[in-house]
Amino acid sequence: MDLSLTGKKAIITGGSRGIGFEIAKSLISEGVNVVIAARDPVRLRNSAALLEKAYGVSVHHISYDIKDTVQVESMVQEAKEMLSGLDILINNGAPAGGAGYAIESITDENIWENLDAKTVGYLRCTRAAVPHMKANGWGRIINVAGMAARNASTIPGGIRNAGVVVLSKVTSEDLGRFGITVNTVHPGGVRITEEPGKWKSPTTGDIANLVAFLCSPDAACLTGESIGVAAGGG
């Protein structure tokens, strides 16, 4: 499909594997120039090489720690210089976390650690990227959260993902006048069945295709939305 994204420039955090890697594939196939960013420099190099081989394009990569403000700001600035601009930010790079069901076992430190790794981490990336998008008069920010924001899941996981929803909603209202949209996508696992016509779980490719659409000019009317990707008819 042609989403009119050719020539746009994107940072994809957590882009070396899983959902982030699939988003990179989807955006590259639409003609977007990308930088993938993550913690592990070896995995980043290998993932960038796979993308370059598959699509015949140059894929930049930057190693950084989302919990370090200086590293985040440096990563965004370096990516902007590599790409000669910045139009799209995919916040997907939070470390795994969110465990903890029993209220007696959850510590203050566990809550703060989860917020710092995801909600505040996404805030750091967004804060660093927004000035470049304002200069363009156009931008797209997609925050990948999780169904724990909607379901009765773990307390730390619910809090950190719900925080991402609030971050998206508030920034969408603040940035709309600059032509910047901000949305949240919640990937979620569901019951899988082999029976035709029954529910099945989404693939990482399904999520990536939704993210690519939200990055497109056709999605200009969608901002501040919280979209679950949980199941579909087989």
Sorted by where each starts, the structural domains of the chain and their CATH numbers stand as 9-233 (3.40.50.720)
Residue 133 has a pLDDT of 98
Strands 232-233 and 199-200: antiparallel
Compare 110 and 42 and report the one with higher pLDDT.
42
Phi, psi torsion values for 14, nearest 5 degrees: 65, 30
Q: How confident is the model at residue 35 (pLDDT cuts 50, 70, 90)?
A: very high
Strands 180-187 and 226-229: parallel
Question: How does pLDDT run across 191-212, given as a tens digit for each residue?
Answer: 334 455 555 677 888 899 999 9
| Chain segment 109-139, per-residue pLDDT in tens | 888 999 999 999 999 999 999 999 999 999 9
* Element containing residue 23 per DSSP (H, E): helix 18-29
| Confidence (pTM) | 0.93
The C-alpha atoms of residue 208 and residue 234 are separated, in whole angstroms, by 18
Nearest to 201 by CA among 165, 231, 221: 231
